[in-house]
Structure 1
C-alpha cells in the first residue's frame, strides 16, 4: 500500500480496531480541513480493503469497522506484556517480560504518518514504551546487571535527553558499574541541556544523586542508621500493593484493620527497596491509640541515630533540627502503628529525597488531604494466597497427588476461609499446625468450625486476634460501640445499609450513616461502595463479626438484644411492603403476615425506595440472612413474614432457589415452634412455587394440607394454585369450582389486581375445554386497571387462543405486547413466555428461520429463571421445527433432481 492517504486511513482504523469509525473522522485524518467528495473516500477505503483481503474491513451504520483478532497487533501484545509485568514480584521475570515487550518495537509508532492523524495514539504508545524501558532498567539494576543496562539506557537518553528519570537511571547504572566519572559527566550534560532548552535546573532526584556520587568520593563517611525489623517470612501475595508502593509519592499511608498485615507489607517492601536509600532507614512502633509515643521522644531517638548528642527541648525545635539533618539525605522512614495524623506530622522530613511509610488502623484523611499522601487500604488476602500462606507456615509433607492431596488442599482452603483471609489469623493457624505434628489440617479446620470458640483457637503466644480487635474496640465512643456490637448480632452476607443500622439503634438513618462511616474510619467495618439502589453499604469481616457478637453478648441483656434484632426484621418488612406497594401498578400485592413494622423517619423510604425493585434486588442477600437469623431465634412470625416479602422479586427475576430456601427454612421454624398459621402460609408459598415449576405431584399435597385452615389472600392463592394443578394434570372440570370460590373471595376483598388475575386464570379452564369463545369473552371483559401484570396475563392467554385457532398474525402481535410490557419491568419469566408464543406464531406464518432464533432465546431465558420443564418443551418445539425445515429442504432437492 503506497498511497500516504490509504496508509493514514489504515492507521486510524487500527487505532479504533473493532470499533466503527465515522467517515468524517477518516476524511479529516487523511485530508485535514479540505475533505474530499464521499466517492473519493470510498475509493480509497476500497483500496485499503483490497490490500487487507477477506472481510476485515466492513461498512456498518456507524462507520467503517476493521476487524482485528486478539494477538494480531504488536501494540496490543506490547500492552498485554506490560500489564503482565506489572503484576510480577520477581525482578528477573519483570526484566524478561518487558524485554520481550520492547523487542516488538521497530522504531517510533506511526512514524511515516502526519502527526495530526494519529498523533495522540502515537504519543500514548511512545510514553508506554518509555515507562517500560524505565521499569526494565529498575529490574536490571535490582539484579545487579548494571553494565548490561548502561547500553540500552544510553540510547534512550540520547533519544530523550530531557527525560530526567531515564537520565537518573543511567547515572545509577554508570555508578554501579564503577564509572562514577561518566555518571557525573552525564549529570553535567543534563544540567546544561535543561538550562539551554528550558531555562531550569535539574530536578531534586538528579541533584541528590549527583550529590551522593560526589560524597562517595569524599573521605568523610556519615552515620547510616539501619533500623528495619527483620523481613517477614514467609511473605505471600500482595503483588498489587507492592507495585503500588514502588510507584508511590514520598508519603504513603497503609491502613487496615488489626491483623491485616500492614506492618508485614511495609517491612517487606522496605527491605526490597532499602538499597535505594543509601543514607539509611528509620523504624519506630508508634504504639497506636492504646499508648501512643510522644513525637518528641521519637525525634530524640532519630536525631541520636544521626550523631546528634544534644537536642533542644521543644517539639517544634526538634522537628526543625530533624528536618535540617535530613535535607540532603535519602532515607527510608517507616512509622508503624500510628495513632493519627497529629502524631505523624512532626516526623515528616521537610524536603530532600526521603520516603515515608505510615501504617495504622485509621484512614489518615488529614495526611491525604494536607500532605498529599497516597492512601493504601489493605484488605484480607484472597483465598488462594491465604491457603498458600497457611501451607508454607505449617511446613507439612503433603501428599503428591490423588484423593489425599485433594482432601488436604480442600482443608487448607477451609482453614483459610475460617481465618477470613486475615494474615494474623492465618499465621497463628499455620504456627499451631507447625508446632503440633499430631494435628492434621482437617483437625485445625474442625477446631475453627466451632464459631463460638474460633477466636480462642486463634491465639498463639503473644499473638492474639481477639486482642488486636480489642484495641480498636476500646477506642470507640459509646454510640459507635453500641452500633458495632449490634451489627455483630446479624450475619448478613450482603452487608449493611444505614436503614438497618438505624433500626438496630432505634434511631435516625442519618445518625446511623454517620456512625457507620466512623466505624469504617476505625477499620471495624468495610465500606463496599454504593449498591444498585443508590445506598451506601458496609460489611463486617467474619472474625470481626464474631468479636462484635461476643461483646454484644457480654454487654447487653437478652431482652435488649432481641428487641434490637426484632427492629431490624421489622424495618425490612416495612420497607419491602412499601417497595411492593410502590410497584403496585406493575403487579399485585402478595399476601403477607402480621409481624410488627418498624419504619424509618419520614422521607427516608422515598429516597431508599426510589426504584422499588432495585432496592429489593440490592437487599436480596440481606433478606436471606434475616430469615436465617429470625429462624435461629425462634421469631417465627417475623421469619415467615420475611420469607413472603421476597416472593415478588423471586417470581419476577426467576430466583426460585431463593424462594424455596427461605420458605423451607421458615416452614421448619414454624413447625418447630408450633406456629400453625405460619406453617400454612409457607405450605401455600411452597405449593405456589411447585406449581410455577410444574412439579404438580409436589404442589397438590402442600396446597391441600393448608387449604382447610387458611383464609383471605392466603386462601385465594391456595385455591388459584390448586386449580392450576388440576388444570395442568388434565382435570379442568375440577379446577372450575376452585376458581369460582377464589373469585367470590376476591370480590369480598375488593383487590382489583387479584380480581383481574383470577378472571385470567379462570379463562384457562375454558381454554382447556376448547370453549375458546367463552374463554375469549371472559378475557376481553377483564378489568386491567392499567396494571401491567394483568395486561400481560390477558395478552398471553389471548395469544394462546389465537395460536390454537390458527390466527398466527394476531398471536404474533399479542405476544409481542407481552414481551414489551414484561420486559419493561424485568419480568423475565413472562418475557420467556412471550418469546415462546411469538416463536410459535412465526413458525405458523412460515417464517421458520426467525422462529428458530426466537424460540432459542425463549428456551435460554426459561432455563435462566428456573423453569427447566418449559425450557425442555421449547427445545422440543425447536427440534421439530428444525426437522421440518430439513425435510422441506430434502423434498426441494429431490424435486429439483427429478425435474
Structure 2
C-alpha cells in the first residue's frame, strides 16, 4: 500500500486507487503529514473542525477513524495515547519520497542532482490535498508549494551548471509564468535563455519582471539580477570558474543569524588546529557553531572554503570538491584512492577551510582530509570521533547544552528584550524545558515570532507537560523538528543499541547504573558505549549514565512504539527486582544484624529512640555491581544517591502490581529514612506499601512501620492508633516477635511524646517477649529502651544499669549501630547525673562509631550534646568547637531547625 498527498489524497494498493475527500480524507491528511508520530485527539479535532470545537469531539474523531480503517485496513491506523498514528515506510508516502530526493540532490554532483530532482518533481500530481478543505490544509498547501518551487529552482541550477540550457529554459518558462515576481526563478530563466543563444528573450524576461515589480511593488529587481541583466546586455558571459586554474571556492552556507555562548569552544577553535571534530547530541548546535566560527575567521582562509554535508559517500564529496577546485569532470580519476591523492595535491600549501558536516565516523572523513597543515578541517558529528584523535591528533570538542542565561539571551535576540521581560514565569519555563538545545530554542522562537500576538504562556503550557513537550518543539517545515533530529540519531544505531535506547525510555528516573541497565535489558552486556558515542546518553561518572530530558522523552516514545507491551512489562519487572535486591544488600551493610521481615522483628539503633524492623530476604541473589558499597559508610552514601530512584521504583512496582516489591522497597529504605530523619519520605513509602502488604499477608507489619514513621514525625496520635491496630493483629495471629517489636515502638512513641511513664510498661513487655524468643540483639534493644525511659524519669542509676547490660550484649554480638546508640544514651544519663567527664567519654565513643558507620545525621546530634557538656563544665572554647562542627553538618544536611538551635547556643556563648 502507498499513500499520496501531492495531488488528490489517495491510497494505492495493487492496481487500485482510492481517492479520499471530506473529513475522512482530512483525517488521513493530518496523520500522513505527521507520519510516524502520534497525533493527539485534541489536535486532530482542532484540525478537522477548527475552534470552537463541536460537541463530543473525541467521539467524532473515533467515528472518522473507524471509517478510515474501513478504507485502509485496521492495521494502518494505530491507536496510541494520546491519539492515533499512521506509520508508513519512507517509500510508501510520496511526500517523504519527495523530501528524500531533494535532500540527496543537495549533496550530489550536478548531473545526479538533476536526476534526483526529476524524480522528486515527477511525484507531484497536481494541487496538494486536492478535494480537502480546512485552514490547516491551506497552510500546508502554501508550505508544500514553496518546497516544490524550491526544488524546481534547485533542478534548474543543476542543469545550468552542466550546460543543459535548453531543458532548463523550457522548464523555467512555465514556472516563471506561475510565479511572476520570483526573482531567482527569473534570473535562472535569463541565464538559460542566454546560454541557449536567445539573448533577446533573456532581456525581455528582465524587462517584464522589472515593469511588474515597479507597478505592483514599487521596487527594483535585486542588485544581482541587475548585474546579470547588464552582462547579458553587453554579451558578457559569466567567467568559466570551473575551468579556472586556481578557482577560489566559497561554499559555506550562511552563518546562523543569531548566536550566543560557546565561548570556551570558540576559544578552542581559535587555535586553528589542522583537524577539529565537534561532537554532540542532535539539536545541540554543532553546525551553528561551525558556521559561526567559520564566517568569523574567513580572513584566515584566503584560498577558499569547501563545505559538505556528509549524508552521502566520500567519493561523491571528493568528486564535488575536485570540481570546486577546477578539475574538469572528465579528468577526475575513477578510483577513490586516486581521487583522494589528487585532492591532497590540489590543496597542498593552500590556506583552505574545509567544513565536513554531520560525519558518521572517522572512516567517512579520512579520504577528505588534506595532507597539508596549512588547511584547517572542521568536522561536526553526533558521534565522538575518538579515532581521529588517536590517528590524526584531532582536537576533540564535545558540546553540552547552553546555560540558562545563554538560552535567555538567545530568546532575547529572537523575540526582543521587551517581550521576554514582560512574562518572566513563562520565559523561565521556556528556558527550563528547552533543555539548553539551540535547535529547541530556535523552534520555540520561530513559533513565537510567527505569531507575536500569542502570549508566551501558551508555549510554556505546552512545554510544561511531558505529553506535549516534543510537539511544542516542532516547527512548520520538515527540517526544524526535534523529533526528526532525534530520529536520524536513533535510526543510525544497530539493533542492540536501538533496543537499549528504547528500554532506557522506560526508566522513570534520569540516571541509571551499568548494572541497572543490564538488568533492564536482561542481557549480560549492554551497548551503552555506542549510545554514549552517539551522545544519546552521558556517562557523568564511572558506571552511571544520564540522558538529556528531551532525549528521555523521545526514548519513552520509542519504547511505546518499538517495544511490545510484554517486552516493556518484563523489562520493568527485571528493573524493579534489581532495585529490591540492591536496596536489600545496601541495607544489610547499614544494619547487618537487622532481622528479616518474614518474622517482622524490629531493631533499634538507639534504644527506644530508633526501633527498626525485619524484612524477608529476596528470593533471588544480588548480582555483582561495579560500584556496589563495600561498608556501612559507602552504603549510606549509596542510599543518598539512589533514594529518589528507589522511591520511584516503588511507585513503578505498584503500577505493575508487584505487591511484594512495593513493601520490600519500603522496608529496605526504612533504615536510611530513619537515620536521616526523612519523616515525610518514610511515611509516604509506607502509605504506598500498606495496601500491597495487606494483599501479600504483611498488613500488620506495614501498619506497625507506618505507625512508627508517624511517631518519629511527632504525630503521636496517628502513630499510636496504627501501632495499637498492628498489636491487635499480632496478638490475634500469635506472632510474639510482632507483639514484641510493636510494643517496643509504642514505648518509643510515648517516649518522644514526653510520656516516659506510659512508655515504660510497653518496653518492659518487649523485654520479656524478646527474652522468651531468645533474641539477644533485640533483648539489648529493649534493655536500652528501658534505660532511656528511666533516664527521662530522672532515675539515673537504674537507667545506667539497664543501658550497661544493653551495651554488653551489643558488643558481644557485634552490633555497632546498637552500641553507638546506647553509648549516646549513657552519655545523656551521665550528663544529667552530673558526671561530665564520663558523659564526654560515652559521647566521643558514640561519635567514633557513628562516623565509621556513615551515620552523620546522628553524629551531629551527639556533637551538639558534647557542646552542652563542655558549656556546663565551663570550657566554652571546646563547646564552641563541638557546636560549630554540629552546625556545619546540620547546614550540609539542610536541617535548618537544628542548625538554628546550635547557632543560638553559639551566640549565647559569645
Mapped partners of 1:597, 1:490: distance in 2: 23
| Residues 99-120 of structure 1: CA deviation (Å, up to 9, x unaligned) | xxxxxxxxxxxxxxxxxxxxxx
Equivalence for 1:430? 445
Aligned residues: 638
Matched, 1:591 2:613: yes
- Per-residue deviation, 1:457: 2.6
Q: Are residues 1:816 and 2:844 paired?
A: yes
2:285 match? 261
DSSP 3-state at the match of 2:258: coil
2:332 corresponds to:
311
Aligned residue in 1 for 2:407: 386
SS at match of 2:297: helix
Residue number in structure 2 paired with 1:484: 501
- In 2: Cα distance, 1:381 partner to 1:518 partner: 24
Pairing partner for 2:530 from 518, 535, 556: 518
Question: Kindly tell me: are residues 341 and 856 of structure 1, through their superposed partners in 2, closer, same or farther at Cα, counting changes over 3 Å?
Answer: closer
Q: Give 1:501 shift.
A: 0.8
Mean Cα deviation higher: 771-780 or 705-714: 705-714
Look up the match of 2:801.
Answer: 777
Provide the residue aligned with 1:757 in structure 2: 781
Q: Does 1:466 align with 2:483?
A: yes
Take 2:453 and 2:657, find their aligned partners in 1: how far apart are those partners?
Answer: 41
Alignment partner of 2:638 out of 610, 615, 619 = 615
Instruction: Tell whether 2:846 aligns with 1:827.
Output: no
The match for 1:374 among 391, 395, 408 is 395
Is structure 2 residue 567 aligned with structure 1 residue 560? Answer: yes
Q: How does 1:646-657 map to 2 (within 5 A)?
A: 646-652=669-675, 654=676, 656-657=677-678
Change (3 A) 1:662 1:812: closer
Match of 1:331 among 352, 357, 366: 352
What is the distance in 1 between the residues matched to 2:683 and 2:672?
14
Which TM-score applies when normalising by structure 2?
A: 0.65
How far is the alpha carbon of 1:321 from its aligned partner?
A: 0.8
| 1:299 corresponds to 2:326 | no
Tell me the CA shift for residue 862 of structure 1: 4.7
Q: What is the root-mean-square deviation of aligned Cα atoms in Å?
A: 3.1
CA contact (8 A) 2:580 2:665 kept: yes
In structure 2, distance between residues paired with 1:674 and 1:756: 30
SS in 2 for 1:496: strand
- Provide the residue aligned with 1:579 in structure 2: 586
Distance 1:605 1:382, change over 3 A: closer
CA–CA separation in structure 1 for the residues paired with 2:411 and 2:820: 56
Does structure 1 conserve the Cα–Cα contact (< 8 Å) formed by 2:594 and 2:613?
no
Pairing 1:548–2:555 present: yes
Contact kept in structure 2, 1:631 and 1:665, CA below 8 Å: no
By how many angstroms is 1:372 displaced?
A: 0.9
State the alpha-carbon separation in 2 of the partners of residues 796 and 595 from structure 1. Answer: 30
Show CA shifts across 1:332-362 (max 9, x none). Answer: 1000011111110000001141000111111
Partner of residue 378, structure 2: 357
Say if 2:668 is the partner of 1:667: no
Structure 2 CA distance for partners of 1:584 and 1:732, relative to 1, 3 Å: closer
Distance in 2 (alpha carbons) for counterparts of 1:436 and 1:557: 40
Q: Secondary structure at the match of 2:419?
A: coil
Could you tell me which residue of structure 2 aligns to residue 451 of structure 1?
466
Measure how far apart 1:399 and its partner are. 7.2
Aligned to 1:483, the other structure's residue is in SS state helix
Q: Which residue of 2 aligns with 1:344?
A: 365
1:570 to 570, 577, 581: 577
For residues 880-899 of structure 1, the aligned pairs below 5 Å read none
Contact in 1 for aligned 2:411/2:441 (Cα 8 Å): yes
Partners of 1:858 and 1:879 in 2: how far apart?
Answer: 14
Distance 1:395 1:680, change over 3 A: farther
Give the CA deviation at 1:487. Answer: 0.9
Shift of the 409–738 alpha-carbon distance from structure 1 to 2, 3 Å rule, reads: same
Check 1:308–1:869 CA distance in 2 against 1; reply closer, same or farther (3 A cut): closer
Q: In 1, Cα distance between the equivalents of 2:904 and 2:779? A: 35
Q: Per the alignment, do residues 580 and 714 of structure 1 end up closer, same or farther by CA in structure 2, a change over 3 Å counting?
A: farther
Cα distance, 1:503–1:876 mapped onto 2, change above 3 Å? same
Give the distance between the partners of 2:742 and 2:884, measured in 1 at CA. 33
Which whole-Å CA distance do the structure 2 matches of 1:457 and 1:482 have between them? 26
Deviation at 1:528, TM superposition (A): 1.1
1:853 aligned to which of 868, 873, 881: 881
Q: Cα gap change, 1:600/1:691 in structure 2, threshold over 3 Å: closer, same or farther? A: closer
Taking the TM superposition and a 5 Å limit, the aligned residue runs for 1:274-293 are 274-287=298-311, 293=312
User: What displacement does 1:707 show?
Assistant: 4.5
Task: Give structure 1 stretches of 5+ with no counterpart.
Answer: 1-219, 288-292, 531-535, 883-899
Partner of 2:62: none
Distance, in Å, in 1 between the alignment partners of 2:533 and 2:872 is 65
Work out whether residues 790 and 796 of structure 2, in 8 Å CA contact, stay in contact via their aligned partners in 1: yes
Is the 2:302–2:352 contact (alpha carbons within 8 Å) kept by the matching residues of 1? yes
User: Structure 2 residue aligned with 1:804, among 822, 826, 832?
Assistant: 832
Aligned with 1:240 (options 245, 251, 264): 264
1:743 aligns with 2:758: no
Instruction: After superposition, give the CA deviation of every residue in 1:495-537 in whole Å (9 maximum; x if it has no partner).
Output: 11111111112222xx13xx1112111221112122xxxxx11
User: For 1:330, what is the secondary structure of its paired residue?
Assistant: coil
Q: Does 1:528 pair with 2:540?
A: yes
Which stretch shows the higher mean deviation, 712-721 or 560-569? 712-721
Deviation of the 1:681 alpha carbon: 5.5
The answer to whether the Cα contact below 8 Å between 2:864 and 2:902 also exists between their aligned partners in 1 is yes
Shift of 1:367: 1.0
CA shift digits 1:292-316 (9 cap, x unpaired): x121221111121121212111111
The 1:605/1:239 distance shift into structure 2, 3 A limit, reads closer
Shift, 1:679, TM fit: 7.2
Comparing 262-271 with 726-735, greater Cα deviation is found at 726-735
Counterpart selection for 2:512 from 468, 474, 496: 496
Extract unaligned runs of 5+ from structure 2.
1-243, 596-602, 604-611
Separation in 1 of the partners of 2:741 and 2:350? Answer: 80
Secondary structure of the 2:512 match is coil
Q: Is the 8 A contact 1:277 1:330 kept in 2?
A: yes
Q: TM-score under structure 1 normalisation?
A: 0.66
Residues 743 and 759, structure 1, Cα contact 8 Å, conserved in 2: yes
1:385 is displaced (CA, Å) by 1.6
Is 2:666 aligned against 1:643? yes
Matched, 1:417 2:432: yes
CA distance in 2 between counterparts of 1:769 and 1:863 reads 32
Distance verdict in 2 for CA 1:752–1:464, change over 3 Å? farther
* Equivalent pair of 1:693/1:866 in contact (CA under 8 Å): no
Partner Cα separation in structure 1 for residue 390 and residue 363 of structure 2: 13
- 1:880, CA displacement in angstroms? 5.9
Counterpart contact for 2:384–2:534, Cα < 8 Å: yes
- 8 Å CA contact 1:295–1:346 kept in 2: the answer is yes
CA contact (8 A) 1:570 1:597 kept: no
**1:203 maps to what in 2?**
none
Distance (whole Å) between structure 2 residues aligned to residue 712 and residue 661 of structure 1? 29
Q: Residue 840 of structure 1: SS of its match in structure 2? A: helix
Match of 2:521 among 505, 529, 538: 505
